[in-house]
Amino acid sequence: MDIRPFEDGDAAGIARLSTTVQWPSLTDPAVVRQVCTAQGAAAYVAVAEGSLVGWAQALGDGVLQSHLSFVAVHPEHRRRGIARLLVTATFQATGTKRMDLITDSAQGFYAEFEHKRMSGFRIYPGA
C-alpha cells in the first residue's frame, strides 16, 4: 500500500472510484484534476498493486483551519486502515492546526479521531 500526493495521472482513477462510490459530481477526470489542484488543496491517493483504491482531499489556509472535503476507499479495500492513513496524510499536508468535516454516513469512523463534536451546515447557492 502506497499513500502519496495526488499526481495528474490519478484523475481518471479517482473518477472511476467516484463512480463506484456513487459521487456523480466527481466522475469527470477534468473536474477531479481541478479539485485536487485547487489553491489551498491537499490531495492524497492510496495505491495497492498498481491500482488506485482510495483518495482524500482537504482545503486549508496553511496556518489554522482546514476542511476535509472528500475521502473515499473502494468497497473491496475498506476496513484496512486506508481511510485513516489518507485522512492523516491529507491533514498533515494542509499544515493546519485543526480540520473540520461533515459526514452523513461515517460518524463512527470519524469519532475514532481526537475531536470536538460541533454542529454544521452545507449551504448551496440560491438557497
Return the CATH number at 14. Answer: 3.40.630.30
* 19 part of a folded domain: yes
Give the model's pLDDT for residue 7: 98
* 126 part of a folded domain: no
Q: What percent of the chain is modeled with pLDDT above 70?
A: 93
Q: How many domains does the chain have?
A: 1
* 63 part of a folded domain: yes
* 120 part of a folded domain: no
Give the model's pLDDT for residue 77: 97
* 123 part of a folded domain: no
Where in the sequence is the domain holding 30, given as residue range(s)? 2-100
Q: What percent of the chain is modeled with pLDDT above 90?
A: 76
* 105 part of a folded domain: no
Q: How many residues does the chain have?
A: 127
pTM, whole model, 2 decimals?
0.88
DSSP, collapsed to helix, strand or coil, labels residue 95 as coil
* 34 part of a folded domain: yes
- Strand-pairing partners, residue 70, are 57
**Banded pLDDT at 38 (limits 50, 70, 90):** very high
Closest listed residue to residue 16, CA positions, set 52, 40, 46: 52
DSSP character at residue 101:
-
The H-or-E segment that residue 83 falls in is helix 82-94
* 39 part of a folded domain: yes
